[in-house]
Amino acid sequence: MPERPDELGPDEHMGDDGGGAIIVGSKGKMMCGTYGMNPTLLPTSRTKEVNVPKTLARVPEGHYAQWVNACIAGYGKQEVSSPFEYAGPLTETILMGNLALRAWNVKENNRFTGRKKLLWDAQNMKITNYDAANQFVKRTYRDGWNKAGF
């Protein structure tokens, strides 16, 4: 846990039961609960004073329920806050980080290869400059468990 901020009153809870975060900026501090829930300026009295305009539409039912409702409605019949056109490339970017970590631990000639710049070909879903990393991109399924077997 970080040190309790001086701006937080003695009876005020820091974060939430699952943890949280403290963000220190050039104009002050802010805290929130787990997953960014309930963002609050510090001291907490500033939260009531400062009016931050909401520029993005909110999802009152939550993202998971929104996704399920869109699935039930059918393809293209309900707008979602994180469409695959945005979420797909974002997920691919995050998975590249995982791929880089896995590739860093590849052994060649009984030595770890270490850091490498990986070049990603999204169209063909493969690393173009370090073939050893491609073992982590796709897996080989046992007989009867491949895509055609489902």
Q: How is the chain split into domains, by residue range?
A: 1-50, 83-149
Please tell me the distance from the alpha carbon of residue 65 to that of residue 37, in angstroms, as a whole number.
Answer: 17
pLDDT > 70 fraction of the chain, expressed in percent and rounded? 96
Give 66: exposed, middle or buried? Use CB within 10 Å, 0-12, 13-18, 19+: middle
- pLDDT tens for residues 57-87? 889 999 899 999 999 999 989 989 888 888 8
Does the pTM of the predicted model rise above 0.85?
A: no
- pLDDT tens for residues 98-141? 998 888 877 777 777 777 889 999 899 999 999 888 989 988 88
